[in-house]
Chain A
Amino acid sequence: MKKIFPFIILFALLTLLGRELLYANPNKFTTSLAGETVPNFQLNNILSEHQFFNHKDLIGQISLLNVWATWCYACKIEMPMLMEIKEKFHIPIFGIAYKDDPYDVKMWLQKFGDPYRLIGDDKNGNVAIDLGIYGTPETFVINAEGKIIYRHIGVLDRKTWETVLYPLIKKL
C-alpha cells in the first residue's frame, strides 16, 4: 500500500490536469450577478422616440440584453440570429451600444436591420463595467422581474440559442 500511495496521488493529479486540458470550456465565465437585479443605469436611447433607456425598461417581460458595438466584427455575425429571435420568437431584445458613435449605430441598423426595442448609448463603458463585460458581444437573459438569469459571452449563434438560451427562456 505504501508503495502504491505516491502513484495514486500522481494519478489523481494527472486526472485533474487532463480534465482541465481536455474538458474545460474557456468561454464559460461565471457571474455572481446571476439571480441579481440588473444594476441601475440610465442611458440615452439612440434610435426610437424614447429619450432614455434604463434598468426599469427591463421589468415586465422576459428579454435579452445584448451588449454590442459597430466596430466589433463578431457582432455582425450574430445580427441575423438576433433578427430571427425578434421576428420568429418575439422575444424583446434591448441593446447597449458599447463605446460607439450613435451615427455609426444608426447607419449599421439601417444596413443590417434593427432587432432592438431600445438601444442605450454607453459612450464611456460604465454600464458595461457594472455588468462585468469582458468584450462585445455579450448577451444576458433577463426575467420579468428584471433579474439576470444567464450570461452568454461571444456570438449568439443558432446552436447556443436552440440548446441553451431558448430552453432556458421557455422554462421561465
Chain B
Amino acid sequence: MGNRIVSFDKKIMNHLKSFWYLILIFLIYLNCASTLFASEDLYPFHSSSDATRFSSLTKEIRCVVCQNQNLAESNAPLANDLRNKIYYMVLAKQSNSEIESYLVKRYGEFILLKPRFNITTFMLWIFPFAAILISLYRFYMLR
C-alpha cells in the first residue's frame, strides 16, 4: 500500500516536472518569437543584409535621452523617432557611415556608443594604452 502511494507520488511529480519543462520551453519560444516577429512587423526589409545592418546600427547608437541605453532597447519617444529615421535611411540604401555622420552632426559624437577615432575623440582612445605603457615603463624603470 505504502509502495503504491510512493509510486503514485513519483508519477505525479514526474508529470509536474514535464509540465513545468513544457511551460518553460513555451515561454522561451514566446519571448524569442515575440521579439523576432515584432521587429520584423515594425521594420520590414527586402533583404536580410539590410535587416542585419538596421539591427546592428540600432544597437550601436545611444538613446540620447536615456541612461546608457541603445536605440534598440529604448522605448523613449525620441529613440522611436530615431529608429524610424534609421529604418528609412537603411531602406534608402544609405551606408552605415552616412547614417552615423547624419546623427553625429545633429546629436554629437556622444550618440555613438563606440565613438569614431578623430581629433575630438583621440584622447579617449589613446589614453588607456598610453596609461598602460607609462605604468609598464615606470614599473620597469623602478626595478
Q: For the complex formed, measure the closest distance between the CB of A150 and the CB atoms of chain B, giving whole angstroms.
A: 15
What total of A-B pairs shows CB separation below 8 Å?
A: 34
B105:A135 contact, CB within 8 angstroms: no
User: Could you tell me if B108 and A30 are in contact, using CB atoms closer than 8 angstroms?
Assistant: yes
Main secondary structure of the interface of B (DSSP, over half): helix
* B64–A129 touching, CB < 8 Å: no
Using a Cβ–Cβ cut-off of 8 Å, how many residues does chain B contribute to the interface with A?
13
Q: Is the CB of A29 within 8 A of B65?
A: no
Asked if A126 and B85 make an inter-chain contact with CB atoms under 8 angstroms apart, the answer reads yes
Minimum C-beta distance from A90 to chain B (A): 31
A31 contacts B106, C-beta separation under 8 Å: yes
- The answer to whether residues A129 and B82 also contact, given A134-B64, A134-B65, A135-B65 and a CB cut-off of 8 A, is yes
* B65 & A132 in contact (Cβ 8 Å cutoff): no
Known: A134-B64, A134-B65, A135-B65. A129 touches B105 (CB 8 A): no
**Distance in Å: Cβ of B57 to nearest Cβ of chain A:** 15
| Sample of 8 A–B contacts (CB below 8 Å) | A29-B108, A31-B105, A32-B105, A32-B106, A124-B84, A131-B106, A134-B64, A135-B65
